[in-house]
Amino acid sequence: MKGQFVLDKLLDVKEPEADQRIDSVMYEQPREGLFRVLQNPMIWEVSRIGLDLVFGLYRRRSNVMQNWGLLENNPSIVDVGCGIGQYSDVTRGSYLGIDLNRDFINYASKRRRKNPNASFVCDNAASLVDDGSRFDIVLMVDVLHHLSEDAGTGLLELASDLSESYIVSFEPVKDQSNPVGQWIIDHDRGRYIYSLDELHTMFEQSPLTIVESIPLQLGFINSRAILAKPK
Protein backbone atom coordinates (compact mmCIF):
# COMPACT_ATOMS: atom_id res chain seq x y z
CA MET A 1 0.00 0.00 0.00
CA LYS A 2 2.69 2.47 -1.08
CA GLY A 3 0.30 5.31 -1.82
CA GLN A 4 -1.37 5.30 1.58
CA PHE A 5 2.01 4.84 3.28
CA VAL A 6 3.27 8.04 1.64
CA LEU A 7 0.09 9.87 2.64
CA ASP A 8 0.12 8.67 6.25
CA LYS A 9 3.82 9.43 6.67
CA LEU A 10 3.33 13.00 5.52
CA LEU A 11 0.22 13.61 7.58
CA ASP A 12 1.45 11.82 10.71
CA VAL A 13 -2.13 11.49 11.91
CA LYS A 14 -4.49 8.71 12.89
CA GLU A 15 -6.31 6.85 10.12
CA PRO A 16 -9.34 9.03 9.16
CA GLU A 17 -12.72 7.82 8.10
CA ALA A 18 -12.84 6.60 4.49
CA ASP A 19 -14.87 9.55 3.26
CA GLN A 20 -12.61 12.07 5.01
CA ARG A 21 -9.24 10.98 3.63
CA ILE A 22 -7.99 13.95 1.82
CA ASP A 23 -6.82 14.12 -1.65
CA SER A 24 -3.36 13.85 -1.49
CA VAL A 25 -2.72 15.36 1.50
CA MET A 26 -4.81 17.93 3.22
CA TYR A 27 -8.39 19.05 2.80
CA GLU A 28 -8.68 22.56 4.18
CA GLN A 29 -11.83 23.63 5.95
CA PRO A 30 -13.34 26.71 4.29
CA ARG A 31 -12.95 30.07 5.98
CA GLU A 32 -15.90 32.23 6.95
CA GLY A 33 -17.82 34.58 4.70
CA LEU A 34 -17.28 34.40 0.96
CA PHE A 35 -15.16 31.24 1.15
CA ARG A 36 -17.95 29.37 2.88
CA VAL A 37 -20.49 30.61 0.32
CA LEU A 38 -18.24 29.29 -2.45
CA GLN A 39 -18.51 25.82 -0.96
CA ASN A 40 -21.89 25.64 -2.69
CA PRO A 41 -21.01 23.93 -5.98
CA MET A 42 -23.59 25.86 -8.02
CA ILE A 43 -22.30 29.21 -6.75
CA TRP A 44 -18.75 27.99 -7.32
CA GLU A 45 -19.56 27.14 -10.95
CA VAL A 46 -21.16 30.53 -11.58
CA SER A 47 -18.07 32.27 -10.16
CA ARG A 48 -15.78 30.13 -12.34
CA ILE A 49 -17.81 30.85 -15.48
CA GLY A 50 -17.48 34.56 -14.77
CA LEU A 51 -13.73 34.30 -14.24
CA ASP A 52 -13.34 32.32 -17.44
CA LEU A 53 -15.32 34.85 -19.45
CA VAL A 54 -13.35 37.79 -18.09
CA PHE A 55 -9.87 36.34 -17.58
CA GLY A 56 -9.84 33.05 -19.49
CA LEU A 57 -9.29 31.09 -16.30
CA TYR A 58 -9.99 27.73 -17.95
CA ARG A 59 -9.55 28.53 -21.63
CA ARG A 60 -5.96 29.70 -21.23
CA ARG A 61 -4.96 26.66 -19.24
CA SER A 62 -6.57 24.34 -21.76
CA ASN A 63 -4.76 26.22 -24.54
CA VAL A 64 -1.44 25.66 -22.78
CA MET A 65 -2.05 21.91 -22.70
CA GLN A 66 -3.10 22.03 -26.36
CA ASN A 67 0.03 23.99 -27.33
CA TRP A 68 2.20 21.48 -25.49
CA GLY A 69 0.68 18.78 -27.68
CA LEU A 70 -0.67 16.89 -24.69
CA LEU A 71 -4.25 16.57 -25.91
CA GLU A 72 -3.48 14.85 -29.19
CA ASN A 73 -4.56 11.21 -29.46
CA ASN A 74 -7.16 11.63 -26.70
CA PRO A 75 -5.05 10.90 -23.61
CA SER A 76 -6.43 9.42 -20.41
CA ILE A 77 -6.42 12.01 -17.62
CA VAL A 78 -6.77 11.93 -13.87
CA ASP A 79 -7.68 15.36 -12.49
CA VAL A 80 -6.50 15.53 -8.87
CA GLY A 81 -8.60 17.98 -6.87
CA CYS A 82 -11.06 18.25 -9.78
CA GLY A 83 -13.70 20.32 -7.99
CA ILE A 84 -16.79 20.32 -10.20
CA GLY A 85 -14.94 18.90 -13.20
CA GLN A 86 -14.44 21.90 -15.47
CA TYR A 87 -11.61 20.14 -17.32
CA SER A 88 -13.54 16.95 -18.03
CA ASP A 89 -14.02 17.92 -21.68
CA VAL A 90 -10.36 18.54 -22.58
CA THR A 91 -9.99 14.96 -23.83
CA ARG A 92 -12.12 12.40 -25.60
CA GLY A 93 -10.15 9.74 -23.80
CA SER A 94 -11.06 8.55 -20.33
CA TYR A 95 -11.20 11.25 -17.68
CA LEU A 96 -11.31 10.59 -13.95
CA GLY A 97 -11.89 13.46 -11.55
CA ILE A 98 -11.06 12.92 -7.89
CA ASP A 99 -11.74 15.23 -4.99
CA LEU A 100 -12.51 14.90 -1.30
CA ASN A 101 -15.38 17.37 -1.43
CA ARG A 102 -18.33 15.00 -1.80
CA ASP A 103 -20.77 17.81 -2.66
CA PHE A 104 -18.55 18.88 -5.56
CA ILE A 105 -18.14 15.31 -6.78
CA ASN A 106 -21.89 14.68 -6.69
CA TYR A 107 -22.51 17.93 -8.54
CA ALA A 108 -19.86 17.10 -11.17
CA SER A 109 -21.33 13.63 -11.72
CA LYS A 110 -24.75 15.13 -12.46
CA ARG A 111 -23.49 18.16 -14.37
CA ARG A 112 -21.18 16.14 -16.69
CA ARG A 113 -23.38 13.08 -17.05
CA LYS A 114 -23.66 13.58 -20.82
CA ASN A 115 -19.92 12.95 -21.19
CA PRO A 116 -19.63 9.15 -21.45
CA ASN A 117 -15.84 9.24 -20.93
CA ALA A 118 -15.90 11.20 -17.67
CA SER A 119 -16.30 9.78 -14.18
CA PHE A 120 -15.93 11.31 -10.74
CA VAL A 121 -14.95 9.68 -7.47
CA CYS A 122 -14.66 11.00 -3.93
CA ASP A 123 -11.21 9.58 -3.27
CA ASN A 124 -7.53 10.49 -3.02
CA ALA A 125 -4.46 9.92 -5.19
CA ALA A 126 -2.95 7.49 -2.70
CA SER A 127 -5.86 5.09 -3.17
CA LEU A 128 -5.39 5.16 -6.94
CA VAL A 129 -1.70 4.33 -6.54
CA ASP A 130 -2.55 1.40 -4.29
CA ASP A 131 -5.07 0.20 -6.90
CA GLY A 132 -2.36 0.24 -9.57
CA SER A 133 -4.14 2.88 -11.66
CA ARG A 134 -2.17 4.63 -14.41
CA PHE A 135 -3.04 7.56 -16.68
CA ASP A 136 -1.37 9.32 -19.58
CA ILE A 137 -1.64 12.67 -17.80
CA VAL A 138 -1.97 13.66 -14.16
CA LEU A 139 -3.58 17.11 -13.98
CA MET A 140 -3.35 19.28 -10.86
CA VAL A 141 -4.94 22.73 -11.00
CA ASP A 142 -4.53 25.05 -8.00
CA VAL A 143 -3.74 22.15 -5.67
CA LEU A 144 -0.18 22.61 -4.40
CA HIS A 145 -0.78 25.96 -2.71
CA HIS A 146 -3.19 24.20 -0.33
CA LEU A 147 -0.38 21.90 0.83
CA SER A 148 2.75 22.26 2.92
CA GLU A 149 6.04 21.74 1.10
CA ASP A 150 6.48 18.20 2.40
CA ALA A 151 2.89 17.31 1.60
CA GLY A 152 3.17 18.85 -1.87
CA THR A 153 6.33 16.86 -2.58
CA GLY A 154 4.50 13.74 -1.41
CA LEU A 155 1.64 14.47 -3.79
CA LEU A 156 4.11 14.85 -6.65
CA GLU A 157 5.57 11.46 -5.74
CA LEU A 158 2.10 9.94 -5.97
CA ALA A 159 1.54 11.74 -9.27
CA SER A 160 4.74 10.20 -10.60
CA ASP A 161 3.41 6.74 -9.74
CA LEU A 162 0.11 7.49 -11.49
CA SER A 163 1.55 8.96 -14.67
CA GLU A 164 2.39 7.08 -17.85
CA SER A 165 3.68 10.23 -19.55
CA TYR A 166 3.23 13.68 -18.01
CA ILE A 167 2.17 15.68 -14.97
CA VAL A 168 0.65 19.12 -15.51
CA SER A 169 0.44 21.65 -12.69
CA PHE A 170 -1.08 25.14 -12.73
CA GLU A 171 -0.31 27.32 -9.71
CA PRO A 172 -0.43 30.98 -8.68
CA VAL A 173 2.88 32.41 -7.48
CA LYS A 174 3.61 34.42 -4.36
CA ASP A 175 5.09 37.55 -5.95
CA GLN A 176 2.63 39.50 -8.09
CA SER A 177 3.34 42.36 -10.47
CA ASN A 178 0.37 44.55 -9.49
CA PRO A 179 -1.39 45.48 -6.22
CA VAL A 180 -4.71 43.89 -7.19
CA GLY A 181 -3.10 40.56 -7.97
CA GLN A 182 -1.08 40.74 -4.75
CA TRP A 183 -4.22 41.42 -2.70
CA ILE A 184 -6.00 38.46 -4.28
CA ILE A 185 -3.05 36.17 -3.54
CA ASP A 186 -2.71 37.47 0.01
CA HIS A 187 -6.38 36.63 0.64
CA ASP A 188 -6.48 33.30 -1.19
CA ARG A 189 -7.90 30.43 0.86
CA GLY A 190 -4.76 28.41 0.10
CA ARG A 191 -2.32 28.75 2.99
CA TYR A 192 0.86 27.96 1.08
CA ILE A 193 1.31 30.25 -1.91
CA TYR A 194 4.81 29.52 -3.21
CA SER A 195 7.38 31.59 -5.06
CA LEU A 196 8.50 30.30 -8.44
CA ASP A 197 11.78 29.07 -6.95
CA GLU A 198 9.91 27.24 -4.19
CA LEU A 199 7.63 25.56 -6.74
CA HIS A 200 10.59 24.44 -8.81
CA THR A 201 12.36 23.15 -5.71
CA MET A 202 9.30 21.08 -4.79
CA PHE A 203 9.39 19.41 -8.18
CA GLU A 204 13.15 18.89 -8.00
CA GLN A 205 12.78 17.13 -4.64
CA SER A 206 10.20 14.75 -6.13
CA PRO A 207 10.69 11.87 -8.59
CA LEU A 208 9.85 14.26 -11.46
CA THR A 209 11.78 16.18 -14.09
CA ILE A 210 10.48 19.58 -15.23
CA VAL A 211 10.07 19.65 -19.00
CA GLU A 212 8.51 23.10 -19.35
CA SER A 213 7.78 25.94 -16.95
CA ILE A 214 6.10 29.02 -18.40
CA PRO A 215 4.37 32.12 -17.02
CA LEU A 216 0.61 32.26 -17.44
CA GLN A 217 -1.21 35.51 -16.80
CA LEU A 218 -4.79 35.03 -15.60
CA GLY A 219 -6.29 38.49 -15.30
CA PHE A 220 -4.52 40.22 -12.43
CA ILE A 221 -2.84 36.99 -11.32
CA ASN A 222 0.66 35.86 -12.21
CA SER A 223 0.59 32.09 -12.34
CA ARG A 224 2.80 29.26 -13.59
CA ALA A 225 2.20 26.33 -15.88
CA ILE A 226 4.57 23.43 -15.22
CA LEU A 227 4.93 20.31 -17.35
CA ALA A 228 6.87 17.45 -15.78
CA LYS A 229 7.47 13.76 -16.34
CA PRO A 230 8.58 10.87 -14.15
CA LYS A 231 12.34 10.42 -13.90
Cα–Cα dist 223/195, whole Å: 10
Name the domain count of the chain.
1
User: Cα-atom radius of gyration of the chain, to the nearest Å?
Assistant: 16
Tell me which residue range forms the domain holding 10: 2-230
Which H or E run includes 136? strand 135-141
Residue pLDDT, tens place only, 36-83 = 666 777 776 777 778 777 777 899 999 999 999 999 999 999 999 999
pLDDT band at 188 (very low <50, low <70, confident <90, very high): confident
Residue type, 113: R
Q: In terms of Cα–Cα distance, which of 107, 221, 230, 94 is closest to 159? A: 230
Helix (H, G, I), strand (E, B) or coil at 171: strand
CATH code, domain with 103:
3.40.50.150
Q: How far is CA 76 from the centre of its chain?
A: 16
Residue pLDDT, tens place only, 4-41 = 545 444 444 333 333 333 343 344 444 455 556 667 77
